[in-house]
């Protein structure tokens, strides 16, 4: 009968070990995983207390402590703070990590014990605890590397509660648990390291895209930070239509990544288009070519006039007064037209109808059959831009970055939890009335995450301290009024803007900029 009970107990413990292994493989929080490992090891051995160390470099770091007698659980900061343990034979855990041996000590205070370690005694002095029995087990991963040490203290008799030695029969089971735990720890670390690597790569890419332009440096990072302030405000919202909206941790991570990657498509946009400070700018401002052409025309007309005058004088005559008056008028006209064209080249003012008409009159002028026209077709097209500095084709190049962002992001094998990143990032220029781009989404086709990103992106762009197409920053009250106009036009989400204004989230941008400066 006793043998049958032992067999049944072993079978139950093996089953429990398998269940624990499966549970450990699902845990993604490292601290929770370590706490679970130590708790399960203590349950197997009926240990009153235990600690868990992880190998980091040349030492063991104290990660988790549990002690029923001292009512210490989970966080070592709640009770005991232990320094790193050197990987050598001076301590039980260090010896175990170095040698890979399991230590099963019946009484740590026994003078005739096979080995004497001062660590348990120091622990007792610090905490007032009394350690007697001790089981120290290495955590080996699938590559046979020791990644940590399990240290169990004071095994208790399940019936009497008396402290006893750890059973030798427990050692293989605890070793097996420790090995499963080591693999799980490595998996969690690998996942965390991979996520950090990916996040770092994303941020490096975003920074590189921003820094292509002296005007947009930091835009993506500021948008990402502002977006997360908005998302957390949604989670804290207790009134209005957004009170029922809650983003879980996975959705927050998804939105954060989308915000960092929303402009990744700009890597394909020519820098001179993004930064086009004047209407005639390509790689350089072609107003200089226009000045040179006007100077050539003026110089050639002056030379011809002077030749005519010289010919008349040589013939003993004076040049016709009307010819002189007309020459002076043409010179003044050229100078005045050039001043107008230089002003028209600047994007700060709206191009009125009379200015457009004057441009076309200048374009149609011819001063001589063998002289070039004052304006080329392309110059006319660029100078005729009513607002800003971009032609229709150039604006389309910029708008194409949203579609390019989607195409680029859709090639990345995102995990299931991040599957919506391309859609969120690529929809930050969509408008609720369907007039946005690149897909013309409308209404409920645009997620709340994308609506938040859209508002923040516009707000940050309008709030930029400098832009090549603006002569000075836009005042905050004007920026907020523009956002309101966008809502009234059916472009932005009213509920999102209401929350943005009610919680004064626009002030967060000032804090972000101050941190940049300081």
Does one domain contain both 36 and 93? yes
Q: Is pLDDT at 304 greater than 60 in this prediction?
A: yes
Of all residues in the chain, the percent with pLDDT exceeding 90 is: 40
* Predicted confidence (pLDDT) per residue in 60-69, tens digit: 988 888 999 9
Domain membership of residue 455 (yes or no) is yes
Residue 123: alpha-carbon gap to chain centroid: 43
Judge if 180 and 63 occupy the same domain: yes
Residues 303 and 451 in one domain: no
Question: 421 and 346 in one domain?
Answer: no
Max Cα-Cα span within the chain:
145
Tell me which long-range contacts 311-319 makes (C-beta under 8 A, separation of at least 24).
none
pLDDT digits (tens, 9 = 90+) for 132-167: 999 999 988 878 888 889 999 999 998 898 999 998
Assigned domain for 145 exists = yes
User: What's the pLDDT score for residue 120?
Assistant: 81
How many domains does the chain contain in total? 3
Reported as a pLDDT band with limits 50, 70 and 90, residue 279 is confident
Q: Are residues 383 and 303 in the same domain?
A: yes
CA pair distance 140, 288, nearest whole angstrom: 72
pLDDT at 14: 60
Domain final position from 372, 388, 404: 388
Q: Count Cβ neighbours within 10 Å for each residue of 126-145 and write b for 16 or more, e otherwise.
A: ebebebbbbbbbbbbbeeee
Inside any domain, residue 108: yes
* Domain co-membership, 21 together with 134: yes
Q: Of 140, 155, 190, which closes a domain?
A: 190
Nearest to 195 by CA among 250, 262, 263: 250
For the cut 50, the answer to whether the pLDDT of residue 76 exceeds it is no
Q: How confident is the model at residue 356 (pLDDT cuts 50, 70, 90)?
A: very high
**Within this chain, do residues 84 and 110 fall inside the same structural domain, yes or no?**
yes
pLDDT at 255: 95
Q: How would residue 77 be classed by pLDDT, with cut points 50, 70 and 90? A: very low
What's the rounded mean pLDDT across residues 72-98? 74
Please check the confidence at residue 248 and state whether its pLDDT lies above 50: yes
Do 180 and 218 share a domain, yes or no?
no
CATH of the domain at 242: 1.10.3210.10
The partner residues of 60 in beta bridges, in order of sequence, read: 55, 85
| Residue span of the structural domain in which 244 resides | 212-275+394-517
Query: Are residues 423 and 319 located together in one domain of the fold?
Result: no
User: Can you tell me the mean pLDDT for 366-382?
Assistant: 91
pLDDT score at 89: 80
> Do the beta carbons of residue 405 and residue 262 sit within 8 Å?
yes
Mean pLDDT of 127-132: 88
**Whole-number mean pLDDT of the chain?**
85
Dist. CA 410–CA 401, nearest whole Å: 14
Confidence of residue 11 (pLDDT cuts 50, 70, 90): low
- 56 lies in a domain? yes
pLDDT (mean) for 88-107: 89
* Cα–Cα distance measured from residue 43 to residue 23, given in angstroms and rounded to the nearest whole number: 15
pLDDT at 16: 67
Secondary structure (3-state) at 238: coil
Give CA–CA dist 50/41, Å, rounded.
9
- The full DSSP string for 345-404 is T-TTS---HHHHHHHHHHHH--S-TTS--SS-HHHHHHHT-SSSS--HHHHHHHHHHHHH
Tell whether 206 is covered by a domain: no
Residue 344 lies in a domain: yes
Same-domain pairing of 376 and 439 = no
Lowest-confidence segment of 79-88, 96-105, 207-216, 437-446 by average pLDDT:
207-216
Mean pLDDT for the stretch of residues 498-511: 93
Question: Is position 220 within any domain?
Answer: yes
Instruction: Write down which residue in 348, 371, 388 finishes a domain.
Output: 388
Query: Does the pLDDT of residue 420 top 90, yes or no?
Result: yes
- What is the pLDDT, as a whole number, of residue 515? 81
The verdict on 156 and 75 lying in the same domain is yes
Please report which helix (H) or strand (E) contains residue 449, including its range. Answer: helix 448-462
Q: Side-chain half-sphere of 309: how many Cα atoms within 13 Å?
A: 12
Tokens of 502: 């009610």
Q: What is the pLDDT of residues 206-246, one digit of tens each?
A: 777 777 665 566 888 899 999 999 999 999 999 889 999 99
Q: Answer yes or no: is 207 within a domain.
A: no
Q: Are residues 341 and 455 in the same domain?
A: no
């Amino acid at each position: 009968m006793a043998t049958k009970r032992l067999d049944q107990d072993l079978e139950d413990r093996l089953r429990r070990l398998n269940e624990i292994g499966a549970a450990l493989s699902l845990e993604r929080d490292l601290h929770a995983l370590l706490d679970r490992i130590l708790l399960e090891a203590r349950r197997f051995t009926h240990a009153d207390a235990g600690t868990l160390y992880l190998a980091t470099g040349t030492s063991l770091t104290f990660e988790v402590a549990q002690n029923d007698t001292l009512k210490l659980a989970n966080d070592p900061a709640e009770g005991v703070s232990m320094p790193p343990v050197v990987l050598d034979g001076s301590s039980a855990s260090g010896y175990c990590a170095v040698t890979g041996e399991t230590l099963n000590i019946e009484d740590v205070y026994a003078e005739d014990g096979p080995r004497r370690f001062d660590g348990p005694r120091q622990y007792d002095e610090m905490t007032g605890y009394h350690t007697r029995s001790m089981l120290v087990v290495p955590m080996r991963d699938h590559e046979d590397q020791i990644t940590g040490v399990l240290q169990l203290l004071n095994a208790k008799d399940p019936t009497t509660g008396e402290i006893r030695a750890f059973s030798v029969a427990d050692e293989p089971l605890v070793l097996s648990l420790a090995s499963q735990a080591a693999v799980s720890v490595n998996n969690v670390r690998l996942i965390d390291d991979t996520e950090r690597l990916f996040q770092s790569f994303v941020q490096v890419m975003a920074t590189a895209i921003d820094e292509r332009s002296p005007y947009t440096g930091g835009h993506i990072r500021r948008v990402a930070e502002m977006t997360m302030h908005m998302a957390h405000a949604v989670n804290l919202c207790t009134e209005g239509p957004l009170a029922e909206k809650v983003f879980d941790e996975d959705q927050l991570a998804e939105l954060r990544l989308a915000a960092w990657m929303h402009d990744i498509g700009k890597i394909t946009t020519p820098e001179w288009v993004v930064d086009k400070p004047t209407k005639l700018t390509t790689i350089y401002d072609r107003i200089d070519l226009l000045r040179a052409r006007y100077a050539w025309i003026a110089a050639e007309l002056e030379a011809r006039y002077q030749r005519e005058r010289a010919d008349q004088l040589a013939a003993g005559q004076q040049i016709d007064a009307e010819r002189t008056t007309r020459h002076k008028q043409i010179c003044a006209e050229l100078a005045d037209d050039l001043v107008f064209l230089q002003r028209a080249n600047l994007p700060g003012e709206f191009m009125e109808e009379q200015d457009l008409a004057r441009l076309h009159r200048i374009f149609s002028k011819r001063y001589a059959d063998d002289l070039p026209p004052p304006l080329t077709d392309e110059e006319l097209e660029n100078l005729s831009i009513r607002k800003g500095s971009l032609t229709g084709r150039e604006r389309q190049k910029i708008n194409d970055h949203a579609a390019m962002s989607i195409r680029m992001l859709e090639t990345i094998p995102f995990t299931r939890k991040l599957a919506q990143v391309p859609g969120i990032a690529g929809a930050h220029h969509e408008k609720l009335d369907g007039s946005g781009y690149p897909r013309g989404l409308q209404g409920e086709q645009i997620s709340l995450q994308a609506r938040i990103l859209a508002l923040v992106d516009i707000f940050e762009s309008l709030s930029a301290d400098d832009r090549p197409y603006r002569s000075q920053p836009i005042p905050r009250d004007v920026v907020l009024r523009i956002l309101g106009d966008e809502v009234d036009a059916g472009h932005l989400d009213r509920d999102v803007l209401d929350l943005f204004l009610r919680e004064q989230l626009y002030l967060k941008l000032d804090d972000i900029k101050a941190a940049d400066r300081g």
